[in-house]
Structure 1
């Protein structure tokens, strides 16, 4: 078992990176308060990518160092040398600038709220994803590892639900549905030129929300992070919500014939109102029930 304190120490270092990033972002936002929207966007498009990429590199470095510690703690044979990842493109950061300074957003809240509240949420989520991408990519190269989502104390219901799975996310699942971040670790190890391809950690529990403090931790087969009493609490909260939500839906099956007289079946869930319920909606309802129970 990997001691929870070891992960807590890693999370604390990432927290320091996030805090420093938010402080710098706050100073940048304050310098733009009161300017016309067009000027805010122009300034952010120029300055935000440099700031964001600098802290992405810092988050990746902290994670690469922790991955090396994880290899030692778990006695990994023939450990690979961890590699830090490239930051996402400037265009990606410019997209965040455009979203946070959109006319519609500014009409809903004051400019200062937008520049600090919305920007800081999106900013810190990207740092969390940079750290998790680094963990996932290096573990994929190492091979034979799974991933565990480790929440911070006082996490939201959604994160608690995902944490209840323990170390059950596989490397294949964790690296399939993502955004591009430039070179892959394996390609860089071979000395290849830069490339952009889908990679990363969004599949690890589906997503990281704004201001999320969860950590993605690579664990060897049969191992996991020792969450102690927290693990039982998370699983019970999830199991109770799951059983309650599933009791409110039923399976329906439609049978139909196509033009070639081939028989087809379509199975789906419906709720008390006879509305179809997707898997994503089921997850959302479970998380909502967990939030209500924790309130």
Structure 2
């Protein structure tokens, strides 16, 4: 997969579609009209957050004509290789070139099967390679944070889809990935010009992730301390892993990630209920300032 070719420059990341398709929220025709509008606005990829299944991509692909749909991410502990490969092959037949399989090892408190995550991912990729309907390396990306998983995403996938990272992590990841592998980090956005209010919204959401050792371990490697994890995150941490402010301020932060080596940025607009909201107005405003065709 040539860098940027499938994902475009800017995508939208949300868990709301996955939750709705699981029955946790509405999934009526209007929901998919939103996906069609994002397609028309020029966003490159719809990222399905919230541990989606491959099948969750089908209605979004059916509701759109151009945009890529990607899992961000599918947990390798929850889905059997044969099912993933077969379902991905069906999407490729019906919507050729428009689905990207994002894979990750998730977190230990979400599954009793969690052990040897790096080795388990290698084994999962080998099983995808040898499945009756193989998933090509160029059609998959890995949720990679640390150096070993980043190297694996370079060697065994199209590239990496890191979550909850900073500009500095993006630059370090680019060094590990080299020139050719794709780097598509997620970036949380609070579109609110009142920075105190924006940080409060950010902390309400960030608190959940600061209970997960995979994320806090990566943030410690980046130079944050345990004090930064208290009470939903210090100002320094919040400002590093979120883009806060009006649309122009968000565009400036996006430019920083792209300059650091990101090929694609998966924007997650954080609201008071990010697991269920589809913040259509915010996505429209951002489409006016972000480099969707860059």
Sort the TM-score into its range (normalised by shorter chain): under 0.3
Q: TM-score, normalised by structure 2?
A: 0.24
Q: Flag the structure with larger Rg.
A: 1
Query: Normalized per residue, which structure has more helix?
Result: 1
